[in-house]
Structure 1
């Protein structure tokens, strides 16, 4: 019964995509629809090329990172992150943690989350991803502590809160 109430309470917010103003997971673009593995769609030339050759700015690169991670192409997402101008951005560090964790390096992912929170303790997305990683490790108590932090930092009703609350309740985490 408790899970059913939680699911009904959170259902309207599940659509919010992490790290984005969009209300859905990243939409497929030419990066995942046309470009081969290891390549991204360059907006200026309208061709697929390596992330190192791409002229895309950090904002476009971050969109590629989200899309590639959602598509399960974690190595490609990390490669795009390597080309970003602002390596110290808490969002870049957060996504580096997410892709690292999802690629199988839980300890490395957690270290990136801790670094991102040192840069910006109010990064709700980082707290959600860290909490979901804690759920994956079976540490629901520490995951609940991150959920409390999200709520205390103004994150009620956000995707960060909803996804972590769902993960705590069900044990299922998100891929974006």
Structure 2
């Protein structure tokens, strides 16, 4: 009986994790600062092997490393540097890469350009709720609250009502300032 309970608990935990991933969730916490934002300048990233800052180049970083470094730079307010890093992704159509291209452009004031990346990400993965949240926030910044509410409804429809993406967009719609 005890083994069955352990197995059921593990199965439930993995189902929750999978459903969060399937809904296109993203970490709700800002990334931990690394040498990329502590030491490196002008869009460089920290190379662990060389133990120094380097200019990102195609093939140098995996797309996971590109995403992680760009996300860190974007959260640090280095939007154009984040875009430099995202430009070297092997798969420029990875929805995470497109999402952060949208995010960095939107936060840099290029809302229309950011929207084009959000739309491209949603064509590939319509269940990526973080894109929907960021897109909704872009709509709000453009004065289109109705479209933002539509994105909030889409997040809920896709099982994301208990996520940071939903809560953040709901706050923005109600006029509260959100971190991102």
Give TM-score scaled by structure 1 length: 0.83
Distance (Å, rounded) in 2 between the aligned partners of 1:133 and 1:79: 22
CA contact (8 A) 1:132 1:173 kept: no
CA contact (8 A) 2:58 2:88 kept: no
**In the alignment, is residue 81 of structure 1 matched against residue 86 of structure 2?**
yes
CA contact (8 A) 2:59 2:90 kept: no
Deviations 1:121-172 (A, max 9, x none): 1110110000001111111111011000000001011111011011111252
Residues 54, 119 of structure 1: alpha-carbon distance in 2 compared, 3 angstrom cutoff: closer
For these two proteins, the number of residue pairs brought into alignment is 157
Residues 19, 67 of structure 1: alpha-carbon distance in 2 compared, 3 angstrom cutoff: farther
Gapped regions of structure 1 (runs ≥ 5): 1-17
Moved over 3 A (4+): 18-21
Between structure 1 and structure 2, the one with the greater Rg is 2
Partner of 2:40: 35
* Aligned match for 2:121, one of 100, 116, 129: 116
CA contact (8 A) 1:135 1:171 kept: no
Per the TM alignment, residue 54 of structure 1 is displaced from its structure 2 partner at its CA by 7.7
Equivalence map 1:1-176=2 (5 Å): 20-21=26-27, 23-52=28-57, 55-175=60-180
Distance (Å, rounded) in 2 between the aligned partners of 1:158 and 1:64: 23
Per the TM alignment, residue 27 of structure 1 is displaced from its structure 2 partner at its CA by 1.1
**SS of alignment partner, residue 170 of structure 1:** coil
CA RMSD between the two structures: 1.7
Give TM-score scaled by structure 2 length: 0.81
CA contact (8 A) 1:65 1:95 kept: yes
Distance (Å, rounded) in 2 between the aligned partners of 1:105 and 1:64: 21
